[in-house]
Structure 1
Amino acid sequence: MPTQGFIYGIAAAITLGIQCLGFSAAYALRTEVFYDILGGLNYLVLALFSAILGSGNPEDPNALQWIDDPRKIIATVLFIFSRGWLLLFLAWRAHERGGDSRFDEVLGKGGGPMQPVTFFVFWMAQAFWVYLISMPLLFINSSDVKKPGFTAYDITFAALFACGVMIEILADIQKSLWVKKGRPGQFCSVGVWRFSRHPNYFGEIFQWWCLWAFSYSSSENPNGGYADPLWWAGIVSPLFTMHILLNMEPTGLCNANSEQSLKRYYDKCPESYTAYRENTSILIPMIGYKYIPKVLKRTIFLDFKKYEYKPTTADSVNKEEVQNSDSSGQD
């Protein structure tokens, strides 16, 4: 069986190769239609590649086979299910929206020149993300260690990983159905969205923390995963996901809570939306959020001040004028 380092290296080459081919085709056709599709396919290719290469020589009776390792089977199946759903959902959403507006300026759709370097960076950034996300699975499938069957630890984190995947899928489906019904109620508060303002992001983050924890039992280090640098390297999967979804301006919570995104809610239904934000966790699905001390919301619950709505001066002036007009009318 190939070494873990060899499998990691080949996986990196495969990821870069797929993304470079995708960029070449997309650049020639001046389209972004392949972007999300190839990103999703990249995940699936890495999962299958690591499963195949992670099996020992079938002619060697002492070699560990992928099919004989329940940890490899469970991790790979759940990973493929998670990324397969993402592939289908993003492809459907791009079709419904008629494209991806993130690339309009880069592709020169507004009349400006095309920006090939920036377009290439988009594709390489996706390669980086795909590879980092996949590291815990690569760690599991490249392991040649023989260990006993599932432990309570394994069962716990396999179940939690599955829960994270299902939360993300439920959130995507419920939000899409709500949009198709004409966005009743101005903002989405149905299903899991009743308990979290961003349950899809929670599911995405939570599943990678669980997969990384699940991979602990696959360490080849005789002292356990805590002494294995390669296992610790896998923590970049959930950490990078958190960084992208919590801190990057074009995506995740920063985009969902930007002034432009929130203004429509505060203009149309300020009182009900304010109550929804006060009573509903920004990320972790839960009940009783309004009773949690603000210091905890600002720390462990990740409801940072940067996500608050900050109206422009013009908006504040307009609101005051409306209020003054209403007051004079009532008098």
Structure 2
Amino acid sequence: MSQAFVYAVSVGITALIQLSGFAVAFALQTETFYDILGGTNFLALAAWSAWCSAAFFSNTRQIIATALFVLSRGWLLVFLAWRAHERKGDSRFDGVKDKFGRFLLFWVVQGVWVMLISMPNLFINSSAANRPLTWFDWVLVGGFAYAVIVEILADIQKANWVQAGRPGGFCQVGVWAYSRHPNYFGEIFQWWCAWALAYNSSEHAAGYSDPLWWICILSPAFTMHILLNLAPTGITNAEGKNLKRYYEKCPDEYAEYRKNTSILIPMIGYRHVPLGLKRTIFFDFERYEYRPGGSGKKD
């Protein structure tokens, strides 16, 4: 099967899942299974692209990339299903569920997100190329696995901390002692690794000459943009004015935590990093700073 056909059917599968989900959710006026269908959509595309492969079980790159993709998105499905059950609702949909167009937009955006994130895996599995993994490919596999593990650990450790009654006022257990947002680091880094791992799956002589491989960069770039820049979610939603609850409860302790802890990349010795580097390559932008006087989230 051609890569174009695999992508076209993937779009159809995604549209079917998301629009069917919207129709039922709008009729029942519920958002309960919104995130669950997002996770299910990822796994459906992984299964479809693996089935389309001419020799999946003899292609090491396809097996490893798909296994890591399924682990990542399978965990997302389980975690979001658990969170939806625990929270018994999602504030993102307050005042939206009864508005046809706005509610539909949520489902359309989720479909676009699923397709973009899945692009490197679809690219790898739909390619007829079967090159052996290079040493750099193995580095990327290690990076992909590391990022997935960090994200899973971050989710579990944060959930356990919340269930324990939020001791200390803010989460600094496990990987949260080395990054203020380790879950977002894992989500971003894994898709950069996945995109780079797809390079040697190109049917062209060199990946850099393959336009489709370059289009797949939308997977990590879109993820990074959402988590770093968009206000309704990601770091923008967690930092800035929404740090008020920490500065009111434990100002000195939290200020010290921010000085010592990287905003994204897990590391030690962050307090010694020059401010100029923090504001650039470490993504600790000034817009994430707390400005007293603004309103923010409550615990």
Q: Normalising TM by the smaller chain, what interval? A: over 0.9
Partner residue in 2 for 1:121:
105
- The residue number in structure 1 matching 2:3 is 4
Structure possessing the higher relative contact order (Cα contacts under 8 Å, 6 or more residues apart): 2
* 2:281 aligned counterpart, secondary structure: coil
Aligned identity (percent) is: 60
Corresponding residue to 2:140 among 157, 163, 166: 157
Pick aligned residue for 2:199 from 192, 195, 216: 216
Mark the CA change 1:269 to 1:66 in structure 2 (over 3 Å): closer, same or farther. Answer: same
Which letter maps to 1:279?
A: N
**For residues 1-331 of structure 1, what are the structure 2 equivalents within 5 Å?**
2-55=1-54, 65-107=55-97, 114-147=98-131, 149-222=132-205, 224-259=206-241, 261-312=242-293
Deviating above 3 A after TM superposition, structure 1's stretches of 4 or more consecutive aligned residues are none
1:150 CA displacement: 2.3
Q: What is the Cα deviation at residue 313 of structure 1?
A: 7.4
Distance 1:121 1:132 in 2: 16
Q: Deviations over 1:109-151 (max 9, x none)?
A: xxxxx2110000000000000000000001000001132x322
Instruction: Give the Cα–Cα distance (whole angstroms) in 1 for the partners of residues 294 and 6 of structure 2.
Output: 55
Q: 2:56 & 2:261 partners in 1: Cα distance?
A: 43
Q: Could you report, residue by residue, the CA deviation over 1:283-311 in whole angstroms, capped at 9, with x for unpaired residues?
A: 00001111111011000000001100011
The C-alpha deviation readout for 1:215-235, integer Å capped at 9, x for no partner, is: 11101001x111111111111
1:314, distance to aligned residue in structure 2 (A): 9.8
Q: Deviations over 1:61-105 (max 9, x none)?
A: xxxx11110000001111001000000000101111111111111
Tell me the TM-score normalized by structure 1: 0.88
CA offset at residue 154 of structure 1? 1.6
Paired with 1:146 and 1:171, the residues of 2 have a C-alpha distance of 35
Residue type of the partner of 1:39? G
1:51 & 1:193 partners in 2: Cα distance? 35
CA 313–83 in structure 1, closer or farther in 2 if over 3 Å, else same: closer
**What CA distance in whole angstroms lies between the structure 2 residues aligned with 1:151 and 1:314?**
51
Any stretches of 5+ residues in structure 2 without a counterpart?
none
- Count of paired positions: 296
Q: Is the 8 A contact 2:158 2:171 kept in 1?
A: yes
TM-score of the superposed pair, with normalisation by structure 2: 0.97
